[in-house]
Chain A
Amino acid sequence: MTHFGPTIRDIRERLRRDDRSYSVRQVARRVGIEPAYLSKIERSEVAPPSEATTVRLAQELGEDPDVMLALAGKVSADLQAIIRKRPRLFADLIRQLKEVPDEAVLRVVREVRDGKW
């Protein structure tokens, strides 16, 4: 059981307060799934959808796809591919960084260098 469905419903309902095009029917149509399926997702009657559908839902609702995938208990295929390519290195890296504050994690991320201009 995840919080994916209720979270999707909360976000969609919040958007719908300002914009009626965020009904279950219209969101489902834009995402490319059946309204009944979206309704079941929101009520956690079915497991979270595929990665592709989750990403489209996230984009439609203006949410971060990686965050929504995590909420659905998934890791994106591109991240899995990165880890599989160098499993020991990235497994060690992730374990080492698991308790590190965000600010410190960002220090190990490659920064776009600013120069003189």
Chain B
Amino acid sequence: MIILDDDRLEFHFPEVHKESRCTIEFQRTLRIPDDGRDYPLPPGLGAFPLRHLDDYAARLPDNWRRRGGVIAPMHQAEALWINFTSRYPFAVKLATGKICAITGDTWVDHLNRDPQDYVVLPEQPWLDGYCVEEGIVRQFVAMPLGEGYTVEEQLTGAAVHGGLQFVAFPMKAERYEALMAGRPEFEPGVMYAPDCAEEAPMGLAPGGRMKQEVYDDPYGLDAWDQRHASRCFVSLVNSAQWVTITGELPPTEPPSAQFYAEYGLPWFEYYGGDSQVVAGSETLGRLKSVSEHAEATGGAPLPGNDPVSVDHVIALGKSRGRRVRESVIGAGSDQG
């Protein structure tokens, strides 16, 4: 089952194992330049708000209601990354517009190993974009559906689903117990609201390139309990739709990469140690990025796309317990 807690999706499988839980959160971030260079990972700027779609069903058309899940607001051309938190091992599939973000294949509910169409938690702490090459992803960038930018439209020629889709599979309980026994104690959519019909719905498109590895499954397909799965459709609405639907203001737009870099704020790199890495999808690698698509179609280029100089990179790694990826730690003094 999935519950919504403090803007996070919490996946629980108590029927599999009492420790079988993981969380998925969508982090706001700056959009990196889409200029062909490979950038380090941008910071997290706080979680996108998530709401039960059912709470606003009266303001939504039937095809939205049928999907269930949650809704989240994104500004046009805003970027996101996905934050995974888990101690229990999970296989998680994720797609945008029902196209797998790892392989570029059309969505299916089950796991595939060759090529691997899922990420493994906790090995994979984050995913920032489409896996286009070994060690390279193209950033998830929100664009209106119907203009041809999204991965879904580029691959299917249609703008039908939009949004983000997830399914999580826990490790089989007996495999988890065996794994733990060998460790020391402490090791551990297409949116169309009647009230804002003139607004274009939102999907995700490939943005700039950044260095991020997607790790190969070290356990094998047999480790995952595919009899137990929880799915979620995350519908993306633009800022105006969000206000109309929920009555709430969306988060402010993040700063530009240029602004961020000028202040010398940190970027991030993650090292997975000896972990094997998936090759990346040739299908996804052939797609046009947002800038390339705009150039090819005579569309307006996105602002803030000039190259930036990255001087301050914080290295995080598998062997390190701390995986905090924030731009500023705003902790004040507190003596109790």
Identify the A interface with B (CB < 8 A): 10-11, 14-15, 18-19, 21-22, 30-34, 37, 46-47, 49-50, 52-53, 56, 59-62, 101-103, 106, 109-117
Q: A117, B66: Cβ atoms under 8 Å?
A: yes
Q: A112, B336: Cβ atoms under 8 Å?
A: no
Task: For A109, give the chain B residue with the smallest CB separation.
Answer: B3
Query: Which residue from B2, B67, B319 sits with its C-beta under 8 Å from A116?
Result: B67
Cα-based distance from A14 to B319 in the complex (angstroms)? 11
Q: A32, B333: Cβ atoms under 8 Å?
A: yes
Cα-based distance from A105 to B175 in the complex (angstroms)? 26
User: If the complex has contacts A32-B333, A113-B54, A114-B230, are A18 and B68 also in contact, measured as CB distance less than 8 A?
Assistant: no
What are the residues of chain A within 8 A of B320 when measuring CB–CB? Answer: 15, 18-19, 21
Query: Which residue from B324, B332, B335 sits with its C-beta under 8 Å from A60?
Result: B324
Task: For A34, give the chain B residue with the smallest CB separation.
Answer: B335
Chain A binder among B8-16, B35-43, B291-299:
B8-16
What are the residues of chain B within 8 A of A59 when measuring CB–CB? Answer: 324
Name the distance in Å between A14's Cβ and chain B's nearest Cβ.
Answer: 4
Q: A111, B335: Cβ atoms under 8 Å?
A: no
What are the residues of chain B within 8 A of A37 when measuring CB–CB? Answer: 335-336
Q: A115, B233: Cβ atoms under 8 Å?
A: yes
* B323 close to chain A: CB less than 8 A: yes
Q: B334, A33: Cβ atoms under 8 Å?
A: yes
Task: For A41, give the chain B residue with the smallest CB separation.
Answer: B336
What are the residues of chain A within 8 A of B70 when measuring CB–CB? Answer: 112
User: If the complex has contacts A14-B186, A18-B320, A112-B3, are A52 and B334 also in contact, measured as CB distance less than 8 A?
Assistant: yes
Name the distance in Å between A63's Cβ and chain B's nearest Cβ.
Answer: 10
Task: For A30, give the chain B residue with the smallest CB separation.
Answer: B329
What are the residues of chain A within 8 A of B335 when measuring CB–CB? Answer: 33-34, 37, 49
Proximity bits, B66-85, A CB within 8 Å = 1, else 0: 11111000000000000000
